[in-house]
């Protein structure tokens, strides 16, 4: 199958309470009525430290900044405080610590940032962990400190694939990390997988999926290996010393992932994401549905009131800004209604719920009918949804629909504005 472009790597409400700074217990006792669900609101916290750099990764992360960790944590806490005082913050329904490797921080440091964020009761709090940078005490501290969900960067269960990816962990690290996460009480566990690494066989991939499912996660993200220019992998592919990923191969692997995961009781809910019922990541849903979230940390992106913003990329500059009492924001933009509508349409189409059908227009109607006839989309209930065939061709299908004027700024502009570029959410590249 040609042209497939699945797999961009990345990322339930109630009333207000933080471990610090929310409603007190007495205030909660005075309101016996169940409160209406809080409006979804996220906080993305970027932790830009890694033990070593994987050859395929172009995320904003550094391997030589161990000395800077506490100053960085202080800066994040100051940033949260600054955002609260500016009126930008609302009680969070989800917090996502992404990286980099958040689990490299001492648990007390990560929890110092978390404690500073006002959260609703039941707030989803995810921490991205590398399998060899956690242990049972650290996971226990996370759990006791309010973390509700662990996202483990497994990538593969084949040692030679892990070696190619320059990962520092082995499959035994993964099994131990999952056992510890369970032992300390985590019910919500995501496993990140990568497919299409040079040298990975179909059997390697199938075995990775089967071993991942056997570990009992309630969420799996499976990303096609993306060759990023400027990375060691990108340079090797550009020099011709290794082949780049093959579209047809990656499409086959996507179908294997979908078969194994759906066969094991997971449902796909976004192109690269599958969950058991109730295991969907609320924070990522916020990105895909145009919700609002604050950026904390260097290179983090945020979205509020139709305005996107991003912080300085470099951790030195981030720390210096906060220490100097300045905003770490490096830039911002407000999309015009048409661009917002197109982005909202494209993001919604990536999800199982699909995107709203346009009210009228001969060109979109003819194209949609043709795409349905060819098995790329299903139409119904006022929405257009990708079939599996359509998911494999999502970028092409989306581009054709947008070119035909399917995204209508009228109704979409009235809905929640959209906040991000496809794929990565608040996570910086």
Q: For binding to ligand SAM (CB under 6 A), which residues are involved? A: 9-10, 56-57, 59, 99, 101, 128, 130, 153, 155, 192, 194, 223, 225-226, 228
The residue among 10 and 291 lying less far from ligand SAM, judged by its C-beta, is 10
Nearest approach in angstroms of CB 100 to ligand SF4 is 5
| Among the residue ranges 93-101, 108-116, 138-146, 397-405, the one whose residues contact ligand SF4 (CB under 6 A) | 93-101
Q: Return the H-helix or E-strand segment holding 330.
A: strand 329-334
| Among the residue ranges 48-56, 260-268, 337-345, 394-402, the one whose residues contact ligand SF4 (CB under 6 A) | 48-56
Query: Is residue 50 a contact point for ligand SF4 (CB under 6 A)?
Result: yes
Nearest approach in angstroms of CB 414 to ligand SF4 is 38
Are the C-beta atoms of residues 89 and 340 closer than 8 Å to each other? Answer: no
Nearest approach in angstroms of CB 366 to ligand SAM is 36
Query: Is residue 378 a contact point for ligand SF4 (CB under 6 A)?
Result: no
Query: Is residue 130 a contact point for ligand SF4 (CB under 6 A)?
Result: yes
Interaction partner, residue 194 (ligand SAM, ligand SF4, none; CB < 5-8 Å by kind): ligand SAM
Nearest approach in angstroms of CB 406 to ligand SAM is 29
Other CB atoms within 10 A of residue 112 CB: 17
The residue among 59 and 345 lying less far from ligand SF4, judged by its C-beta, is 59
Phi then psi for residue 57, to 5 deg, are -95, 130
Nearest approach in angstroms of CB 110 to ligand SAM is 14
Q: Which residues of 303-324 are buried (b: 16+ CB within 10 A; e: fewer)?
A: bbebebbbbbbebeebbebbee
Nearest approach in angstroms of CB 194 to ligand SF4 is 9
Query: β-pairing, 273-275 with 292-296?
Result: unpaired
Strands of the sheet with 383-386, listed across from one edge: 355-356, 383-386, 377-380
Please choose, from the candidates 95, 145, 89, the residue with its C-alpha nearest in 3D space to the C-alpha of residue 123.
95
Strands of the sheet with 307-311, listed across from one edge: 267-270, 273-275, 219-224, 188-195, 149-155, 119-129, 92-99, 41-47, 292-296, 301-304, 307-311, 329-334
Residue-level length of the chain: 429
Binding pattern to ligand SF4, positions 96-115, x when CB under 6 A? Answer: ---xxx--------------
The residue among 128 and 258 lying less far from ligand SF4, judged by its C-beta, is 128
The residue among 194 and 349 lying less far from ligand SAM, judged by its C-beta, is 194
- How buried is 383 (Cβ within 10 angstroms: 0-12 exposed, 13-18 middle, 19+ buried)? middle
- Find the binder of ligand SF4 among 102, 153, 217, 425 (CB under 6 A): 153
The residue among 194 and 406 lying less far from ligand SF4, judged by its C-beta, is 194
Interaction partner, residue 192 (ligand SAM, ligand SF4, none; CB < 5-8 Å by kind): ligand SAM
The residue among 231 and 309 lying less far from ligand SF4, judged by its C-beta, is 231
Query: Is residue 57 a contact point for ligand SF4 (CB under 6 A)?
Result: yes
What are 187's two structure tokens? 């019910």
- Find the binder of ligand SF4 among 41, 44, 59, 345 (CB under 6 A): 59
Instruction: Tell me if residue 31 falls in helix, strand or coil.
Output: coil
Query: Is residue 150 a contact point for ligand SF4 (CB under 6 A)?
Result: no
Query: Is residue 65 a contact point for ligand SF4 (CB under 6 A)?
Result: no
Q: Return the H-helix or E-strand segment holding 341.
A: helix 337-349
- Find the binder of ligand SF4 among 6, 18, 43, 54 (CB under 6 A): 54
Other CB atoms within 10 A of residue 369 CB: 12
Describe the chain by its helix, strand, coil percentages, rounded to 5: 40, 20, 40
Query: Is residue 126 a contact point for ligand SF4 (CB under 6 A)?
Result: no
Interaction partner, residue 53 (ligand SF4, ligand SAM, none; CB < 5-8 Å by kind): ligand SF4
Please choose, from the candidates 404, 409, 394, 292, the residue with its C-alpha nearest in 3D space to the C-alpha of residue 342.
409
Side-chain half-sphere CA neighbours of 169 within 13 A: 21
Interaction partner, residue 44 (ligand SAM, ligand SF4, none; CB < 5-8 Å by kind): none
């Amino acid at each position: 199958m040609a042209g497939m472009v699945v797999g961009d790597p990345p990322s339930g409400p109630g009333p207000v309470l933080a471990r610090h700074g929310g409603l007190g217990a007495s205030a909660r006792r005075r309101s016996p009525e169940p409160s209406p669900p809080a409006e979804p609101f996220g906080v993305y916290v970027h932790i830009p430290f890694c033990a070593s750099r994987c050859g395929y990764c172009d995320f904003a992360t550094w391997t030589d900044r161990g000395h800077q960790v506490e100053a960085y944590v202080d800066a994040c806490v100051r940033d949260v405080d600054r955002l609260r005082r500016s009126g930008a913050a609302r009680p969070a329904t989800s917090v996502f610590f992404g990286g980099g490797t958040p689990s490299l921080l001492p648990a007390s440091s990560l929890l110092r940032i978390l404690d500073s964020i006002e959260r609703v009761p039941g707030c989803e709090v995810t921490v991205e962990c590398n399998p060899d940078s956690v242990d049972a005490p650290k996971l226990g501290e996370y759990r006791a400190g309010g973390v509700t969900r662990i996202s483990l960067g497994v990538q593969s269960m084949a040692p030679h694939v892990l070696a190619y990816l320059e990962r520092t962990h082995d499959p035994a690290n993964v099994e131990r990390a999952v056992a510890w996460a369970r032992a300390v009480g985590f019910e919500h566990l995501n496993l990140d997988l990568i497919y299409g690494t040079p040298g990975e066989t179909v059997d390697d991939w199938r075995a990775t999926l089967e071993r991942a499912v056997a570990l009992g996660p309630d969420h799996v993200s499976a990303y096609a290996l993306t060759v990023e220019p400027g990375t060691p992998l990108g340079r090797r592919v550009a020099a011709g010393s290794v082949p780049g990923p093959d579209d047809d191969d990656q499409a086959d692997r996507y179908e294997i992932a979908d078969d194994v995961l759906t066969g094991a009781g997971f449902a796909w809910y976004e192109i690269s994401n599958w969950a058991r019922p109730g295991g969907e990541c609320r924070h990522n849903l916020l990105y895909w549905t145009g919700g609002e979230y604050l950026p904390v940390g260097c290179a983090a992106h945020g979205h509020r009131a139709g305005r996107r913003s991003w912080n300085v990329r470099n951790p030195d500059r981030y720390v210096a800004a906060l220490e100097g009492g300045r905003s770490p924001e490096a830039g911002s933009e407000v999309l015009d209604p048409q661009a917002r509508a197109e982005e909202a349409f494209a993001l919604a189409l990536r999800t199982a719920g699909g995107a709203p059908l346009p009210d009228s227009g001969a060109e979109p109607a003819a194209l949609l009918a043709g795409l349905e006839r060819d098995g790329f989309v299903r139409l119904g209930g006022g929405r257009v949804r990708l079939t599996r065939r359509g998911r494999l061709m999502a970028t092409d299908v989306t581009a054709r629909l947008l070119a035909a004027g399917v995204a209508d700024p009228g109704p979409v502009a009235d809905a929640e504005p959209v906040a991000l570029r496809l794929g990565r959410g608040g996570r910086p590249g």
